[in-house]
Structure 1
Amino acid sequence: MRRKSAIKDKIIALDLVPAELSEATKAYFAKCEEKLGLVPNVLLAYAFDETKLRAFTDIPRDGAVRAWRLRANRTSH
C-alpha cells in the first residue's frame, strides 16, 4: 500500500517554473513513459533547468557507472 504524500502533485517543495523542454528532452520523457509507464520524479524535479537535467541524465555515461551496471547484470542472472 502506498503512503499518500502531504504535497499532492508537486515533485519538489520549491516553486520553480518548469523550463521549456527541448524536443530531445520531450522525446526522452516520452521514452520513459513508454518503457516505465511514468517519468521518474527525479527527472521531473530537474525539469526546471534543461542544463541541470542534461547533466543528471548524462551521469550514466560515466565509466564507473557503466562498470557498476556490468557487475549488476552479471550477478542478477
Structure 2
Amino acid sequence: MTALPRNVPSSTDPPGLPHPHDLRWLRSSYSTGANNCVETARPDAGPWAGLLAVRDSKDPAGPALLFSPESWTDFTAAFR
C-alpha cells in the first residue's frame, strides 16, 4: 500500500472536505437491502480532490476513510 488511509470524522470535517451530504456517495453493487456494505465518493475540489472517501453504509453520518487511488487498488487487490 502506498499510503495509509486517513480517518475523517464527519462531525469534525477538516477544512476543504465537502460535507458528506454534498458528496455523491455510491453504494457497492454487492450491497443488500440491509445496508451491510460500503459506500464511496470522490471529492472533486479542495485538498481532498482525487482521493477516494469510503464509509460504512450503515452509518452514513459516521467517519470516512480517505484513500489515494493507488492505495485503494492495493487494498482491494489484497482481498482477491
**TM-score, structure 1 as length reference:** 0.29
Q: For the pair shown, which has the larger CA radius of gyration, 1 or 2? A: 1
More strand by share: 2
For CA contacts below 8 A with separation 6 or more, give which structure has more relative contact order. Answer: 2
More helix by share: 1
**TM-score, structure 2 as length reference:** 0.28
